[in-house]
């Protein structure tokens, strides 16, 4: 299935795209930045930097974090964090519907993919 | 002005995004891959590889090229190439309109950018 991905570049160089949104969703699902990083096969450092970047991007924090304690630190989306993810995913979902005819026109024109590995015979 | 950029990932790993479309537009404007590469501050090799990739992606070529001769090789968009660029730019343009309220909601929430270099006094 063809996929449309959206990137939002704000005036000042700050941007929001699939990577940051996916990370927020994974933090929400897994309850911490470290677990989200593990699930995304991303280094903890990179995940932390991305999370910190998106957390500073808006007036309202996107993630609430709680350091240390039993079982390590925890993190979860704030109400605004949920709203942010929802805006982004809604744009993607609505794009998919709105542009289905244009995407179908392009799909119709795709060249066949050459078989790189013909199936083994009988 | 906030900008929405679209990337289309087809099923099979082939994708189309801002970079390839911009290259096609620049080839069209400048009349050759080498001039387009220069204008985009991209190596000729990278521009050629990108152009070749998008040219093989669809059943119909996107660029017509003419090698060598007086003044070097020339390239221009085919009719399908123009259609491709038009589909992509239309998706971008229509997205901008359709998602203006969501984008405005996010813009309203952007944190102020800290002044890194305060203006000189007096």
Mean pLDDT on A11-25 = 94
Q: Which two tokens stand for residue A117?
A: 């590995």
* Chain B residues inside the 8 Å CB shell of A14: 110, 113
Query: Which residues touch B45 (CB under 8 Å, ≥6 apart)?
Result: none
Measured between CB atoms, does B104 come within 8 Å of chain A?
no
Measured between CB atoms, does A93 come within 8 Å of chain B?
no
A68 — pLDDT class (breaks 50, 70, 90): low
pLDDT of A114 over the 80 cut: no
Per residue in B17-64, pLDDT (tens digit) is 999 999 999 999 999 999 999 999 999 999 999 999 999 999 999 999
Q: Residue B53 in 3-state DSSP?
A: helix
Largest CA distance in chain B: 64
pLDDT of A39 over the 70 cut: yes
* Chain B residues inside the 8 Å CB shell of A91: 4, 95, 99, 102
Fold of A7-108: Arc Repressor Mutant, subunit A (1.10.10)
Largest CA distance in chain A: 64
Give A95→chain B minimum CA distance, Å: 7
Per residue in B64-109, pLDDT (tens digit) is 988 766 656 789 999 999 999 999 999 999 999 999 999 999 999 9
Q: Locate the domains of chain B by residue range.
A: 7-108
Q: pLDDT at position B117, please?
A: 57
Q: Which residue of A has its CA nearest to B55?
A: A111
- Return the H-helix or E-strand segment holding B8: strand B3-9
Is the Cβ–Cβ distance between B84 and A32 less than 8 Å?
no
Q: pLDDT at position A122, please?
A: 47
Place of tokens 């229509």: B94
A71 — pLDDT class (breaks 50, 70, 90): low
pTM of the model: 0.82
Q: Which two tokens stand for residue B8?
A: 């289309």
What is the DSSP track for A18-73?
Answer: HHHHHHHHHHHHHSSHHHHHHHTT--HHHHHHHHHHHHHHBSS-SEEEE-SSTTS-
Rounded (to 5) percent helix, strand, coil in chain B: 55, 15, 30
């Amino acid at each position: 299935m063809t996929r449309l991905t959206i990137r939002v570049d704000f005036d000042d160089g700050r941007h929001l795209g699939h990577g940051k949104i996916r990370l927020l969703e994974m933090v929400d699902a897994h309850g911490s930045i470290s677990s989200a990083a593990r699930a995304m096969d991303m280094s903890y450092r990179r995940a932390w930097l991305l999370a910190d970047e998106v957390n500073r991007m808006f007036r309202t924090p996107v993630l609430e974090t709680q350091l240390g304690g039993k079982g390590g630190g925890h993190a979860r989306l704030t109400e605004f964090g949920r709203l942010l993810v929802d805006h982004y995913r809604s744009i993607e979902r609505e794009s998919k519907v709105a542009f289905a005819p244009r995407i179908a026109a392009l799909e119709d024109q795709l060249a066949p993919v050459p078989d790189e590995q013909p199936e083994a015979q009988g």
